Chains A and B, each alone.
Chain A
Amino acid sequence: MTAMTVGRQVEQFRENFRIVRDEVSRIIVGNEDNIIGIMTCLLARGHVLLEGIPGIGKTKLVQTLADVLHLKFSRIQFTPDLMPGDIIGTTIVRETDTGRKLMEFQPGPIFANLVLADEINRATPKTQSALLEAMQENSVSAGGQTHPLQQPFFVLATMNPLEMEGTYPLPEAQLDRFFFKLKLSFPSAEGLSQILDRTTAQHEPKVERVFGQGEILEMRETARSVPVAKPVQDYAIRLTLATHPESELASDLTRRFVRFGASPRGTQALILGGKVRALLAERLYVAGEDIRSVALDALRHRLLLNFDAEAERVSTDAIIEDILQRVPLPSA
């Protein structure tokens, strides 16, 4: 591989990314950052948690993405009575033509490339934890056997922040397994107008399947190849350490309101997300600003706030922004 090949790879990566983004934008109005965020997670081999009020297009966004990427898509509507077996599948007894009975694993909806876990906080923790192994190990254990998941495996979970009754907040361990947590904001007046134009007409816009599994895996490899200089890596480490209240780098806000800081998965998310952002910015290296650009999405769900923060309604976003202001960019 030569420098020219690398350049071509980067150009291809950017082009593919642009195509997906443009295609999704034909259905989804606004939310450019969230589309980029979801694609970043997909290309960084992560999973994404989408948070937003009902009706702002969380599910539509995921469905559109699945349509564009020509991947196997499954949707799991999480409810309180949903069982783990309903997600990962179950072993059933099947009788062959010869009358012989066999124990056969019947894969659940998780066996797909793109899994939409809709309203994940409505399911019980037991069911939520069924996703843990799948998300982290990309495999499912059932009936004493481990079944690998087909790549790319990408979980998009949605969560409604308004309804608290009858919901089960995600445990920290599960939250940490999400690469990014994205917040979908309410569209502007212009955005609403566009949504109405697109969804209330006789013909709704359709998307094309631009590329499939192979291109995604190729793009993932490209993203992983981007080199990171040590100072930039140190910057990501310093950002992570700054979220820990007992760290020397912790700010006053962190010491006051944070109970537990981000895990090493947070640092990984910073670097991997930074790599994708570097490629999108036509860079062959990760710059400090790439790390900064993904810091909010990568760390906001990894900080565990204390009671004071809850009482004073301090959000994790505010703390991370404070950290970003205080921790200097990578120096020479």
Chain B
Amino acid sequence: MVPQGLSRGAQRLVSLCDFAAHSLATNRRRSNAGADVGYNPRMSDQEIILHTLARVRRRLQIGHVVHDATVLLWLIAVAVALWRVLRMAGGHAPALSAVAILVALLLWVGGLLVLSRRLLARRTSLARAAAEVDSRAALHDELKTAYWFIAHPIASPWNAAQLEHAACSARTLDVSRLLPMRVERGALAASALISVLLVALWLAPPLTPSSQALSEGGNALSAAEAKQVQLLRELSAQLPGDSAAAAKLEQALTTLQRKEASAEEKQRALAAARAALEQRNLDAASTREGLYQLAQQLRGNEALKDIAAALEEGDAHKAAQALQQMPDAHGGKLTATSPAAERGNEKDLARLIDQASGRSDAEPGESASVAAREAIDRLNQIAAQLDSQQQLNQASQALQQLQLAVAQRSTMSAGRFSQQAAQNSTPSPNSGQTSMPGGIMFRSAAVAQEKRASAQQEGSKTGSAMGDSQAEAPLGNRVTPLGVQLKKEAVPNPEPEDQQDAAKNWFYTESKEQKSVVELREVQARESFAQAQSGAAEGVSVRHRQIVKDYFMQLREGKP
């Protein structure tokens, strides 16, 4: 700076001196810098500039690689974090999760493509390096202009002066300080943040419990379920003399209360217990059917008319009372022998009643009284068995609720479990059909014949909580009794060992009436098929097509 207050000539002299000093300092700095940073003193200004720019470009390229690697790591970290978040949140809304996964995947792939394109497209030129140095070192486009002058040489002292000045600036540049090889603070902070986020996400509990957690969580019984279990235990204690069903039920309850048992195990145990109870229901239905057939047999006997009517209604109590009202051979009333009489089948009961009524060919008198007492005992047993069906139904309903609760916790679908369990389901209350793995079992007679709904029928009307209950049977309102559909066919056994074995040598087969019904339906089906065919576009039924075709094939001109 030229001091103020000097004359014009003095000021000019001072400025010239300043310029000379500046030039000397520049030359000295140039030679020193060349020795320091490894520049060859023989290098021209252009070489110095290009050498500096090459160094800058190399560092820029390395910096770009580091930056891109950081971005790539970021992308991977984001993908991992995203995967973890979706894994945590997945299950609440599977569709939403799928969309989120798709969007995230697309974004990630898009980011990767952009990065790849950037990597492929970016070519760090010397001009770019010059611009970078100008920007970082505040050189005001000096190296950029110098590089342009080198690339477009013009013989001009001004250009040479500019190159000389630019070379001097390039010598003094500390490239390593201008372009330090270090990760940016922002990238470091972001990496730390994403690491913390990843750790937090990894340690955070999933929003949707896993299957293991589900099974563990399913071990704890709720208060309502505990109450159901308690009720089932009480009902199990009341079950009359059926050790198999009681044992199954007890086993199911034990499994249900076992903490280490999985939800599927519990489901199986409950299904097994329920199958046992359903078997009891089927036994009861079979008993009612036997009573009905017994009533049909006794209907011919005028003395046993009341008993037959009671049996036809399925009321064993009433039948026992009617039998008690009958006078015995000694003029007294009959009484039951003991409550723990052995249980027999309905055939024995029919024989006993016949003996009691004196119709039998057996010895009258004392034996008739004994037979009547036995018949009363048997009827009381049957009544008790039928009465116990109410408890069975309650137990079955409680089991259904428990099954529902356990099934909701289980990861296995209801249909899948049904396939695995392959248990008979509850007979339809209207048709009496029971869905079985191999077909359909018809059991409609006894149920359909009852005039009023009794407590013994209850329990079959609720659908299964597993969703496998039968819908309304496609048979219409009219139900044909089982006894009409089926008939007994004896198996010839030349040497029966005893009477009991001989009684088992028969099987149910299709009755004549049922056979005719089936044939009729087949004919109707063919007819309806033919009608449907005739209503098709061709207007000719399948049956008649060949005839029509032959007629037209043989048709000749002039011949009718």
Q: Do A and B come from one complex?
A: yes
Using a CB–CB cutoff of 8 Å, the interface residues on chain A facing chain B are 1-8, 11-12, 15, 18-19, 22, 208, 210-211, 225-227, 229-232, 281, 283-289, 330-332
Q: Could you list 8 further interchain pairs (A-B, Cβ under 8 angstroms) beyond the known A4-B23, A227-B154, A229-B148?
A: A3-B161, A3-B164, A15-B12, A210-B8, A231-B144, A231-B145, A330-B144, A332-B130
- Cα A283 to Cα B158 with chains together (Å): 10
Give me 27 A-to-B residue pairs in the complex whose CB atoms sit less than 8 angstroms apart, sorted by A's number.
A3-B161, A3-B164, A6-B160, A8-B16, A11-B15, A18-B2, A227-B149, A227-B158, A227-B159, A229-B141, A229-B148, A230-B148, A231-B148, A232-B141, A285-B141, A285-B142, A285-B146, A285-B158, A285-B162, A287-B141, A287-B142, A287-B145, A288-B141, A289-B140, A331-B131, A332-B127, A332-B147
Using Cβ atoms and an 8 Å threshold, which residues of chain A touch B23?
A: 4, 7
Using Cβ atoms and an 8 Å threshold, which residues of chain B touch A289?
A: 140-141
Using Cβ atoms and an 8 Å threshold, which residues of chain A touch B154?
A: 227
A40 to chain B, nearest CB (A): 18
Known: A11-B19, A19-B8, A227-B149. A332 touches B144 (CB 8 A): yes
Q: Is B233 an interface residue (CB 8 A)?
A: no
- Cα A18 to Cα B11 with chains together (Å): 11
Report whether B149 and A229 are in contact in the complex, using a CB–CB cutoff of 8 Å: yes
Using Cβ atoms and an 8 Å threshold, which residues of chain A touch B299?
A: none
A43 to chain B, nearest CB (A): 16
Report whether B149 and A2 are in contact in the complex, using a CB–CB cutoff of 8 Å: no
Q: Is B156 an interface residue (CB 8 A)?
A: yes
Q: Is B128 an interface residue (CB 8 A)?
A: yes
Number of interface residues of B (CB under 8 A): 35
B144: nearest chain-A partner, CB-CB: A332
- Cα A210 to Cα B2 with chains together (Å): 15
Q: Is the interface of B mostly helix, strand, loop or mixed?
A: helix
- Cα A141 to Cα B2 with chains together (Å): 45
Q: Is B165 an interface residue (CB 8 A)?
A: yes
Report whether A8 and B19 are in contact in the complex, using a CB–CB cutoff of 8 Å: yes
- Cα A8 to Cα B23 with chains together (Å): 10
Chain B 104-125, CB-CB to A under 8 Å as 1, else 0, gives 0000000000000000000001
Report whether B156 and A227 are in contact in the complex, using a CB–CB cutoff of 8 Å: yes
Using Cβ atoms and an 8 Å threshold, which residues of chain A touch B159?
A: 227
Report whether B142 and A332 are in contact in the complex, using a CB–CB cutoff of 8 Å: no
B12: nearest chain-A partner, CB-CB: A15
Report whether A332 and B157 are in contact in the complex, using a CB–CB cutoff of 8 Å: no
- Cα A330 to Cα B164 with chains together (Å): 22
Chain B 383-412, CB-CB to A under 8 Å as 1, else 0, gives 000000000000000000000000000000
Q: Is B4 an interface residue (CB 8 A)?
A: yes
- Cα A187 to Cα B144 with chains together (Å): 40
- Cα A275 to Cα B391 with chains together (Å): 110
A228 to chain B, nearest CB (A): 9
B309 to chain A, nearest CB (A): 102
Q: Is B451 an interface residue (CB 8 A)?
A: no
A287: nearest chain-B partner, CB-CB: B141
Report whether B145 and A285 are in contact in the complex, using a CB–CB cutoff of 8 Å: yes
Tell me which of A4, A208, A226, A286 contacts B8 (CB under 8 A).
A208
Using Cβ atoms and an 8 Å threshold, which residues of chain B touch A231?
A: 144-145, 148
A286: nearest chain-B partner, CB-CB: B145
Tell me which of B128, B141, B148, B158 contacts A225 (CB under 8 A).
B158
Using Cβ atoms and an 8 Å threshold, which residues of chain B touch A211?
A: 8
Using Cβ atoms and an 8 Å threshold, which residues of chain B touch A332?
A: 125, 127-128, 130-131, 144, 147
Q: Is B478 an interface residue (CB 8 A)?
A: no
